[in-house]
Homo-oligomer: A and B are copies of this chain.
Amino acid sequence: MTTTEKPASPYQVVGTRPVRPDGVDKVTGRAEYGADIKLPGMLYGRVLRSPHAHAVIKRVDVSRALAHPGVFAVVTTADFPVLGNNPVPTIRGPIPERWTREALIADGKALYKGHAIAAVAASDPHVAEDALGLIDVEYEVLPPVLSIDQAISPAAPLLHDPAITADIKGLFDPIDGRQTNIARKLEIRFGDVEQGFADSDVVIEREFSTASAHQGYIEPHNATAFWNKDGLLTVWTSTQGAFGVRDALAGVLKVPVAKLKVVPMEIGGGFGGKIPVYLEPLAAVLSRKSGRPVQITMSRAEVFEATGPTSATQMRVKMGAKRDGTLIAGEVHLAYEAGGYPGAPVPGAARSALAPYNMPHHYVEGFEVVVNKPKVAAYRAPGAPQAEFAVESVVDELAEMLKMDPVEFRLQNASKQGVRRSEGVPHGSVGTQQVLQAARDSAHYRSEMHGDKIGRGVATGYWGNGGNESAAYASVNADGTVSLVTGSVDIGGQRAALAMQFAETLGIPYDTIKSTVGDTDSIGYTSNTGGSRTTFATGWAVIEAAYDIRAQLIARAAKIWDVEPEKVTYEAGVLREEGGQTMTFKEIARKLAGSGGSIQGRAAVKPTGTGAAVATHICDVHVDTDTGKVTVTRYTAVQDVGTAIHPSYVEGQIQGGAAQGIGMALNEGYVYRPDGSMANASYLDYRMPVANDLPPIDVILVEVPNPGHPYGVRGVGEVPIVPPLAAVANAIYDAIGVRVRHLPASPAFILEELERLKK
């Protein structure tokens, strides 16, 4: 069931639900994913990975593998350009350039089980697999560092040589004169938090932890590369951003971007995890060495062990309130595992943690800690679900102590436009209050529950959303249809959502727009599909491209009518001469060739004005206290989605995000053995919720238009994963009185907690 709270729409196309353009291709199996590419003479690559979580690599001898029949090339780190310690920027801060290579293929040291050591290209995948066994590697196994506690203990071995990062301020800075595995520390301070706690009537402090969870996209990573003799490298890959892959390849291979072409294939899920490159540079160098195209596809175990899940975390939250329910102070301590190399999503977590609420005193401190696990990657609102789990659990407990309805308590403290959020910057347009009101007034929240061991929880989440660069190009066809090209990989419906904004702007029907995704040679620079930015920022680009066309149409109509352009207007798909004749878009399209040639629109934008996203989820559970199994019986997600361009896609994003969050709450988590190997690297053992694990997820769309976008778009894709962790945990408490402070709340964990309660 979906409820939309929405006034009469001023739009013709925006807000409708046309059929998705990629649907038929996908259901008929004709959509081309990366692994569908087949090229003449193509070889198959496989990657040798470290069996040890922490080891010195003393020797790699590939000679037996190279001599194996059917093997065409073997690469090790020695086949890549030597990179030094100079800092290069990343989204989470500068790192030594050498790590861009070492994270791809180990050099001297393996930092996690699964770290790539070498790669082979052979005539078929089985030969390649066989050849991996012929690569002789001599390891000196080191004790693995597998938790934050272990990592920060003075006895812990250091993963990285301090000399490498010595010149990069803020990265592995010594603490009290001692080198540690703490990569970075971040602090956000606002007001005086100690004074705040002193002024509070109630103060709670709690500790939390979460396990690593994987994005769990269905399609494994893949890359196909052909590096021709003239130095032109073409890469086909399922990625969230072809230009991001191009940038990464240019950096690690030291090739100018004009020599690179990245072709984004259809993508079977990403959720942030298909932003980094893993296989592309290996396939590229194998191709250069073999002179043939090379394709590598990961197994599911490789996806788990060698790509980036989200961080495991340890958190502590202290919050204080007045007896009247006014929040006064919040202190959040976040320690996030980064895996083998820095890059944990601490900044996003820190900025989001307290953002749903107003309170005069904040302090957030975040640590990024390296451990012998795969380097983490972005995962939908990176970092925020964990932090919000901690904060929203404490908020729930405060409401209970204050004997307030948990939604009313939140509403009383809800953040609003103009009031400062954590960093000290005032909130822009933010729908926290409207969302909480809609949750409070929802049929679900007003319903009564009946039965035993049942409970209801609510939680709110915040995510800032992104802007960044986008390009669009559109050409008008003689029959009045339009070809629209953007650089935004379509994961969640971008082709439709962009065509709709374009059609709306020109006042022409949606189904006259053919919306496609260009490769890096055929469209201007466009940042990743991620950060909930695409419908917003690439939307801006297509609107600007439509403006560009509109201006040219007016000029052309003036030429055709032989009047001044100032006398011509364009509205709702019709050109109109002041007090005179008219011409529809379709009519003038037919006349373009005969009046000077066709018309194209183009735009490259980097918009600010991204609107923040807020969601409140309501979750009902039943807990089987014999087995420890928690069943979600009813679930409603309420979210400020700005203007919903294509409501079905928006609902899909929300339902998908909620399902993933419920998975992190109840089942999903990396399980490590003491040697640092993963005990559940398969979909049989790593338990994601499937359709029959979940009830239908109801969605309430609250549309608070973002004033920073012509149609009021705000990003919708990430925030729905933020509230479920705490909503489920709070519901479990409501059902059985167990305050869940570690996730996943698996049946075993629930049973242990119930045992603990009995004592």
Residues of chain A having any CB pair with chain B under 8 Å: 21, 23-25, 28, 30, 36, 38, 40, 226, 228-230, 232, 250, 256-258, 261, 469-471, 473, 475-479, 481-483, 485, 511-514, 516, 518, 520-525, 592-593, 596-606
B524 engages A600 (CB within 8 Å): yes
In order of increasing CB-CB distance, the 6 nearest A-B pairs are A475-B524, A24-B230, A258-B481, A597-B606, A598-B604, A602-B602
Instruction: Tell me the minimal C-beta distance from A18 to chain B in angstroms.
Output: 12
A30, B42: Cα distance in complex, Å:
11
Residues of B within 8 A of A482 (CB): 258
Instruction: Tell me the minimal C-beta distance from A608 to chain B in angstroms.
Output: 10
B475 engages A523 (CB within 8 Å): yes
A477 engages B257 (CB within 8 Å): yes
User: What are 11 of the A-B contact pairs (CB < 8 Å)?
Assistant: A25-B230, A28-B229, A256-B481, A257-B478, A469-B593, A471-B597, A471-B600, A475-B524, A483-B520, A516-B521, A524-B600
A522 engages B483 (CB within 8 Å): yes
A479 engages B258 (CB within 8 Å): yes
Residue of B483, B518, B599 near A604 (CB, 8 A) is B599
Instruction: Tell me the minimal C-beta distance from A751 to chain B in angstroms.
Output: 48
> Which of A28, A514, A592 counts the most B-chain CB atoms under 10 A from its CB?
A514
Known A-B contacts A36-B40, A258-B512; the reply to A600 vs B602 at CB < 8 A is yes
With contacts A258-B477, A258-B513 known, what are 16 further pairs, Cβ within 8 A?
A: A25-B230, A25-B232, A28-B229, A38-B38, A258-B479, A258-B511, A261-B514, A471-B475, A475-B523, A476-B524, A485-B521, A524-B598, A524-B599, A525-B593, A596-B606, A600-B603
Instruction: Tell me the minimal C-beta distance from A258 to chain B in angstroms.
Output: 4
Residues of B within 8 A of A512 (CB): 258
A479, B592: Cα distance in complex, Å:
36
How many copies of this chain are found per oligomer? 2
A596, B24: Cα distance in complex, Å:
37
A583, B151: Cα distance in complex, Å:
49
A473 engages B602 (CB within 8 Å): yes
A639, B399: Cα distance in complex, Å:
90
A525, B597: Cα distance in complex, Å:
9
Residue of B36, B256, B477, B521 near A479 (CB, 8 A) is B256
Instruction: Tell me the minimal C-beta distance from A330 to chain B in angstroms.
Output: 34
B598 engages A483 (CB within 8 Å): no
A38, B40: Cα distance in complex, Å:
9
A554, B617: Cα distance in complex, Å:
50
Known A-B contacts A479-B256, A485-B521; the reply to A473 vs B473 at CB < 8 A is yes
A594 nearest CB neighbor, chain B only = B606
A525 engages B475 (CB within 8 Å): yes
A231, B523: Cα distance in complex, Å:
26
B602 engages A597 (CB within 8 Å): no
Residue of B522, B596, B601 near A522 (CB, 8 A) is B522
Instruction: Tell me the minimal C-beta distance from A624 to chain B in angstroms.
Output: 45
B256 engages A522 (CB within 8 Å): no
Residues of B within 8 A of A261 (CB): 514
Residues of B within 8 A of A256 (CB): 479, 481
> Which of A38, A258, A593 counts the most B-chain CB atoms under 10 A from its CB?
A258
A25 engages B525 (CB within 8 Å): no
A605, B592: Cα distance in complex, Å:
10
A702, B402: Cα distance in complex, Å:
94
A513 nearest CB neighbor, chain B only = B258
A548 nearest CB neighbor, chain B only = B602
B228 engages A24 (CB within 8 Å): yes
Residues of B within 8 A of A524 (CB): 475-476, 483, 598-600
> Which of A250, A516, A521 counts the most B-chain CB atoms under 10 A from its CB?
A521
Instruction: Tell me the minimal C-beta distance from A247 to chain B in angstroms.
Output: 8
B601 engages A226 (CB within 8 Å): no
A258 nearest CB neighbor, chain B only = B481
Residues of B within 8 A of A523 (CB): 475, 522
A475 nearest CB neighbor, chain B only = B524
A513, B257: Cα distance in complex, Å:
11
Residue of B228, B513, B521, B600 near A25 (CB, 8 A) is B228
Residues of B within 8 A of A600 (CB): 471, 473, 524, 602-604
Instruction: Tell me the minimal C-beta distance from A184 to chain B in angstroms.
Output: 24
A261, B592: Cα distance in complex, Å:
21
